[in-house]
Structure 1
Amino acid sequence: MKYNTEPELTEAQLTHVSQIFKALGDPTRIRILHFLLDQEYSVNEIAEKLELHQSTVSHQLSTMKKIRLVKSRREGTTIYYSHDDKHVIDLLTEAINHACHN
């Protein structure tokens, strides 16, 4: 595995990494991101499938969109969400795989 050999991270990089891990530290956000692994869904579809309130899903998607973990696409009156960062999805997948092998 190749590691970054730069001696220090900038404040902006440190902040962004911290935000990513903070986002991944919430079980609801993990469930939503996991659900968005292979396909885009509307807020209603996510809420129904994960048995969450629509307001909860909207709030979590808004939080994740601010740090670019998800992106949205409008089709008529419906907004569809999908993951927006393959690197974070790889981290999430590795963490899930690790948890499943314990």
Structure 2
Amino acid sequence: MAVPLYQAKAELFRTLGHPARIRILELLCEGPHAVHELRDHVEIEPSNLSQQLSVLRKAQMVVSTRRDGEVVYSISVPEVRDLLLAGRRILAQLAPEVDLEWAAGSTASRP
């Protein structure tokens, strides 16, 4: 039986419902990252990072490959970047108090 679109969208947005997962996706929009690189930029315990990556993998938003003995993650579809950019544009209009910078030294063109 097919899943109604509104239910699939709700599940997609639930997947995005954790700050660490958003941060991981932001980093992966820059390009593929090894787990140790993600660990350097996502301020959570390694076990929690692993759990968050697992949620994103299960939702098929990221894919993993092995490179030189380490696991490297990348976004699965470029539209993930578009979704994050849309969120930024919405927040710019609805919540002007939100710091829209990507990270220290970031540029406005990032998600």
TM-score, length of structure 1 as denominator length: 0.78
Q: Name whichever structure is richer in helix by fraction.
A: 1
Unmatched tracts of structure 1, length 5 or more: 1-9
**Residue 19, structure 1, aligned to residue 11, structure 2:** yes
Structure 1 CA distance for aligned equivalents of residues 92 and 20 of structure 2: 18
Select between 85-94 and 72-81 the one with higher mean Cα deviation.
85-94
Structure 1 CA distance for aligned equivalents of residues 34 and 92 of structure 2: 28
**Residue 88, structure 1, aligned to residue 96, structure 2:** no
The secondary structure found in structure 1 opposite 2:81 is helix
The secondary structure found in structure 1 opposite 2:15 is helix
Tell me how large the CA RMSD over aligned residues is.
Answer: 1.8
Structure 1 residues 92, 78: closer, same or farther in 2, change over 3 A? same
Q: Give the aligned partner of residue 66 of structure 1.
A: 58
For this pair of structures, how many residues does the alignment match?
93
Counterpart residue identity of residue 21, structure 1? F
| Superposed displacement of residue 12, structure 1 | 5.6
% identical equivalent positions? 30
Structure 2 CA distance for aligned equivalents of residues 29 and 36 of structure 1: 10
